[in-house]
Amino acid sequence: MITDARALRPEFVPRDLHHREGQIDHLSSVLAPIQFDHAENVTIFGPSGAGKTTIAKYVLSQLERESLGIRWGYVNCMADNTTAAALHTLVRDVNLGADLRRRGEPTSLALDRLRESDDHIVAVLDEVAVLDERPLVALTDLPNVSVVAITIDEEEWMGQLSSRATSRMQSAATVRLEKYTMDELVDILNSRVTHGLIKSRVDDEAVHWAADIAAGDARRGIAILRRAAQRVEQQDTRELTVETVESVVRDAEDDIQERRIRSLGTHQRLLFQIIDEAGDISGSELADEYERRAYDPKAESTRRRYLKSLRRYDLIEASGNGRARHYRSHH
């Protein structure tokens, strides 16, 4: 059934992206002048599963193949959500700091490595809303660095930035994505089938049903397709059917959630664990337990940002305000 497992992985970037041609052209035109040392910052906004990260990686990979003197690096700010972690990850990802560690090295050293590079650097900061703005400001201060900032909610992120950071990002080019339509998502899933599965053994109705369940979220649709293909192989059945899809929806949802949990940074994971263990916990109880268990607890403002990121990831939900606020786990 599975001929190329890479096509079913969430981080896979296909050779051709369907139904994002306009956004790809726009992003390409914004980033193309980098070849001539013209720095341009970019913001990409849109709901989960709309292809934000994929189009950034797609366009930058093409640009890197076509041009000399360009490097780009990717930082998942959910995992690398401190200034040191984000900068050191970026420097290592652009092959300028294999010797740098996240801890014990000054962030100024990472910035020096970027500044001293003869190449133009593009820093992709995914889930940037969870990140302290200091690395964002530091990177936009470097003349040979451009930032591609990716997040879901434009207003929420811009609203939490200082005037200094806002002035930099307000002038950035903006790419906005919407959820995929049903037909668009069917095309995307059919492309994954063509590249990764034996197409003759996949019922067309099963692909339509997976797209319908995913409701415009490509990440969810691909997760369902991947689990369904695995189920066919495990059970040694002939065809991937609607019934196969229906049988794996919960497993696919669990896969997405587990992947999100694994990507969390240390303090986000601790906050999630406390909420998950309690089932339902008040804001004050959560704060007390976090400060009791955390090594070098983060400030309240940082914790609020982390809790917002957990809600965006649909790992927790919150209700009430102020002292009456309560958190519950979706796990």
According to DSSP, the residues that pair with 42 across neighbouring strands are 148, 173
CATH number of the domain that 158 lies in?
3.40.50.300
- Tell me which of 4-8, 11-15, 35-39 is least confident: 35-39
Is 8 within the bounds of a domain? no
Among 99, 73, 100, 102, CA closest to 85: 102
Point out which residues pair with 147 in neighbouring strands. 123
Cβ(133)–Cβ(127) below 8 Å:
no
**Judgement on whether residues 107 and 172 belong to the same structural domain of the protein:** yes
CA distances from 227 to 13, 153, 163 (A): 19, 29, 46
Domain-terminating residue out of 176, 205, 223: 176
Task: Give pLDDT, residue 100.
Answer: 72
In a domain, residue 160? The reply is yes
Q: Please tell me whether residues 190 and 151 are part of one structural domain.
A: no
Note down the domain range covering 234: 182-249
The reply to whether 134 and 49 lie within a common domain is yes
Q: Are residues 82 and 203 in the same domain?
A: no
Mean pLDDT over 8-15 rounds to 87
Q: 235 pLDDT band (50/70/90 cuts)?
A: very high
List pLDDT tens digits, range 298-307.
Answer: 999 999 999 9
Q: What pLDDT was estimated at residue 17?
A: 84
- CA 201 vs. chain centroid, Å, equals 32
Does residue 12 form part of some domain? no
- Number of Cβ within a 10 Å radius of residue 322: 7
**Any domain includes 223:** yes
| 86 and 137 housed in the same domain | yes
Q: Are residue 48 and residue 156 in the same domain, yes or no?
A: yes
- pLDDT attached to residue 104: 58
Instruction: Give the residue, 38 or 194, on which the prediction is more confident.
Output: 194
Q: Establish if 232 belongs to a structural domain.
A: yes
Whether 110 maps to a domain, the answer reads yes
Question: If residue 93 lies in a helix (H) or strand (E), which one and from where to where?
Answer: helix 83-93
- Is residue 323, in this structure, part of any structural domain at all? yes
User: Looking at residue 179, what is its pLDDT?
Assistant: 96
Co-location of 28 and 56 in the same domain: yes
Question: 162 with 121, same domain?
Answer: yes
Q: How many domains does the chain have?
A: 3
287 and 149 co-located in one domain = no
pLDDT at 269: 96
Domain of 277, CATH number, reads 1.10.10.10
Residue 102 has pLDDT above 60, yes or no: no
> Is the distance from CB of 146 to CB of 121 less than 8 angstroms?
yes
Q: How far is residue 311's CA from residue 304's CA, in Å, rounded to a whole number?
A: 11
As a whole number, mean pLDDT of residues 158-178 equals 91
- Please check the confidence at residue 193 and state whether its pLDDT lies above 90: yes
Per residue in 237-266, pLDDT (tens digit) is 899 999 999 999 999 999 999 999 999 999
Same domain, 213 and 323: no
The answer to the question of residue 1 being in a domain is no
R_g (Cα) of the chain, nearest Å: 21
Cα separation, 275 vs 101, whole angstroms: 31
For residue 119, what are its two tokens?
Answer: 């190449």
Q: 31, 40 in Cβ contact below 8 A? A: yes
Q: Quick one: pLDDT at residue 18?
A: 85
Longest C-alpha distance within the chain, in Å? 60
Residue 48 sits in the same domain as residue 187: no
> For 67-94, what is each residue's pLDDT tens digit?
888 999 999 999 999 999 999 999 999 9
- Tell me: do 57 and 95 sit in the same domain: yes
Q: How many residues does the chain have?
A: 331
Task: From 226, 249, 272, give the residue that closes a domain.
Answer: 249
Q: What is d(CA 116, CA 128) in angstroms, rounded to the nearest whole number?
A: 25
Averaged pLDDT of the chain: 92
Report residue 145: phi and psi, to 5°: -125, 135
pLDDT of residue 280: 94
